[in-house]
């Protein structure tokens, strides 16, 4: 008995075209991110409301992404698999919090970060909304959609370059953003987060890192997050020193300290991904290999 080939309907063949797939998957997630950011900006004093809204938009975006991937790509959504989720989220949280704390410790030793006291513990609550929104929605958009779709056709290295560059440049929309800061984010965070996805083939490690880095930066050390408005966290701190070390108005992410530490961790994960055979070759290389 011969196998009967499965004929995909025309609409499915059209929507599976890479550029169209980027739009179909990316636009709903981007819309959720825009709505979340706008809502948080308009309801800053209401931490309970903003946290609830950020969590709701995160779940909505995850549901939309999951449903669209199942519908369009006709596969298991392995990047959101719950297997290993707890371990990878925990590892990401530890790496993110640890790396930012290491940056601050270096600044303290250099005399550029000084703590004048502590604020009440509830000062740490509002940043939860920002960290939730950025970690879940941005990882879905830049790694789940952009990196993965580009990688399907052009391979892992081009996907890493494209997703890292776009991820960094998007931060130029923040109020105190600088081109230097955006490029630093492309290198340090874009590479690290892309490497986290390559290594695990899931989004949880990147989400954990992204949440912990942003939350620790704002809620604990009262730092500026990617050129956004400065918010008071647990530490009543002053940061004064050359922008090359402090990041200036953009925050520590635009400093050589963060660049060296985060990029180093990203490179380590890339090496691990290569050794585990997690690198996808571009379509022309795969086609050539299939003919030999």
pLDDT at 64: 97
Helix (H, G, I), strand (E, B) or coil at 236: strand
Q: What is the number of alpha carbons within 13 Å of residue 2 lying toward its C-beta?
A: 3
84 CB-contact burial (10 Å; exposed 0-12 / middle 13-18 / buried 19+) = middle
Distance CA 16, CA 9 (A): 11
Element (H, E) at 275: helix 256-275
pLDDT tens, position by position, 239-289: 999 999 999 888 899 999 999 999 999 999 999 999 999 999 998 887 776
Statement: residue 51 has pLDDT above 90: yes
Statement: residue 5 has pLDDT above 60: no
pLDDT at 3: 53
Buried b (16+ CB within 10 A) or exposed e, 144-168: bbbbbbbbbbbbbbebbbbbbbbbb
pLDDT band at 1 (very low <50, low <70, confident <90, very high): very low
- Average pLDDT score over the chain: 92
Share of residues in the chain with pLDDT > 90 (%): 78
**Where in the chain are the domains?**
84-291
Residues 6 or more apart in contact with residue 104 via CB below 8 angstroms: 113, 221, 223, 252
pLDDT tens, position by position, 26-46: 999 999 999 999 999 899 889
Helix (H, G, I), strand (E, B) or coil at 113: strand
Cβ(25)–Cβ(65) below 8 Å: yes
Residues 6 or more apart in contact with residue 125 via CB below 8 angstroms: 47, 51, 219
pLDDT at 157: 97
From residue 91, give the alpha-carbon distance in Å to each of 28, 130, 204. 29, 20, 9
The region, left, alpha or beta by phi > 0 then psi within -120 to 50, assigned to residue 207 is alpha
Q: What distance lies between CA 37 and its chain's CA centroid?
A: 15
Residues 6 or more apart in contact with residue 227 via CB below 8 angstroms: 171, 174, 175, 176, 177, 178, 181, 249, 250, 251
Higher pLDDT among residues 290 and 188, named by residue: 188
pLDDT band at 290 (very low <50, low <70, confident <90, very high): low
Cβ(136)–Cβ(152) below 8 Å: no
pLDDT band at 8 (very low <50, low <70, confident <90, very high): confident
Distance CA 233, CA 100 (A): 14
pLDDT tens, position by position, 75-119: 999 999 998 899 999 999 999 999 999 999 999 999 999 999 999
- DSSP 8-state symbol, 45: T
Mean pLDDT of 195-221: 97
pLDDT at 61: 97
Closest CA to 262 of 212, 203, 200: 212
Closest CA to 23 of 59, 62, 72: 72
pLDDT tens, position by position, 153-201: 999 999 999 999 999 999 888 887 888 888 999 999 999 999 999 999 9
């Amino acid at each position: 008995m011969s196998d009967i080939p499965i004929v995909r309907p025309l609409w499915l063949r059209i929507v599976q075209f890479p550029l169209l797939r980027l739009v179909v998957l990316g636009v709903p997630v981007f819309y959720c991110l825009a709505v979340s950011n706008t809502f948080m900006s308009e309801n800053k004093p209401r931490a309970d409301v903003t946290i609830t809204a950020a969590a709701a938009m995160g779940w909505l975006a995850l549901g939309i992404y999951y449903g669209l991937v199942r519908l369009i790509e006709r596969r298991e959504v392995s990047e959101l698999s719950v297997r290993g989720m707890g371990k990878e989220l925990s590892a990401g949280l530890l790496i993110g919090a640890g790396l930012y704390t290491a940056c601050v410790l270096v600044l303290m030793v250099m005399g550029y970060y000084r703590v004048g006291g502590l604020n009440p513990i509830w000062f740490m609550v509002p940043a939860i909304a920002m960290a939730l929104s950025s970690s879940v929605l941005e990882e879905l958009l830049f790694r789940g959609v952009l990196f993965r779709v580009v990688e399907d056709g052009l391979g892992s290295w081009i996907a890493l370059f494209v997703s890292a560059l776009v991820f960094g440049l998007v931060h130029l929309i923040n109020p105190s953003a600088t081109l230097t800061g955006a490029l630093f984010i492309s290198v340090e965070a874009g590479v690290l987060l892309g490497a986290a996805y390559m290594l695990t083939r899931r989004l949880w490690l990147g989400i954990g890192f992204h949440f912990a880095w942003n939350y620790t930066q704002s809620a604990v050390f009262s730092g500026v997050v990617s050129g956004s408005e400065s918010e008071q966290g647990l530490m009543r701190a002053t940061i004064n020193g050359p922008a090359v070390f402090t990041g200036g108005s953009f925050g520590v992410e635009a400093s050589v300290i963060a660049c060296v530490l985060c990029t180093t961790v990203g490179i380590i994960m890339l090496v691990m991904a290569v050794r585990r055979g997690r690198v996808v070759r571009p379509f022309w290389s795969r086609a050539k290999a299939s003919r030999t």
